[in-house]
Structure 1
Amino acid sequence: MPEPRPYKIPLSVLVVIHTPALEVLLIERTPTPGFWQSVTGSLDLEDEPFEAAAVREVAEETGLDAYAPGHVLTDWQLQNTYEIYPEWQHRYAPGVFQNTERVFGLCVPAPVPVMLSPREHRDQVWLPWLAAVDRCFSFSNAEAISWLPRLGRCT
């Protein structure tokens, strides 16, 4: 019998991938049509640095290297604490109802096709930042993208 999956740690990262022209990459979740988001993911270990989790999640979900030449990863020093959606509550330990998410930006020189993990995502789109705000399913993701003109750094 396979071992049960460990509970998710209620600490995560959100990475807004964007260009200097403020175009934003959104990816659509599998199997939830219409659930568009930025790169997100939980820490693998309680003591994993948020930046390490951001770099790992970007690579896992898009195939991009956050440290590649011309890429600029920035910790926006923003944290969101939100209620975990009931449909995902089973992934967390009993009694855990909130997640804390750290926000990063990743500037890339231009829109590029990414290699999606078919287990997690089904489609991708690059949109101007205001259109990306409107397309996001998650309030915290939309809010993070709204900070892009002030916090998004590409140097």
Structure 2
Amino acid sequence: AGVDDGSRLRLRGEGEAGPPGSQPGDLYIFIRVAPDEIFQRQEYDVYCRLNLSFSQAALGADIEVPLLNNESKIIKVKAATQSGEMMRITGAGIPHVRGNGRGDQIIQMMVETPKKLNKKQKAIFQELAEIEGNPIKETLKGFFQKLKR
């Protein structure tokens, strides 16, 4: 079961001894949960980000995502997925402390822009831009020259 960051646990009679003939005090334990590199928790739900390439987001893909229990699951990313879209895996979150059930795992899709392109990739993107009616031919200098007119 999950314990929230900042939770307090009281152990009755486990604290310091009181004056002779009295009961010992209570011991209070304050819980601090270290942040995880992959998951962020909100109540019983856990959130994570999934980085997608342009082609995966545009065409759709089957992608493996990590789960809390050190396992993974293949999810189907639908074609035309936009950056920021969310996908829910029901019952893959934090177990409820009192009662049955679990929270969900929510996956945020993040479309990554490539930082470096090889010649073939650059040619493909230029061709795509032309197909879309957005040819990439204008230079920064040409842009400022048009503003001067």
- Given the two structures, how large is their TM-score scaled by the length of structure 1? 0.25
Structure with bigger strand share is 1
Q: Determine which structure has more spread, i.e. the larger CA radius of gyration.
A: 2
Q: With CA pairs under 8 Å and 6+ residues apart, which has the higher RCO, 1 or 2?
A: 1
Q: Relative to total residues, which structure has the larger helix share, 1 or 2? A: 1
State TM-score, norm by structure 2: 0.26
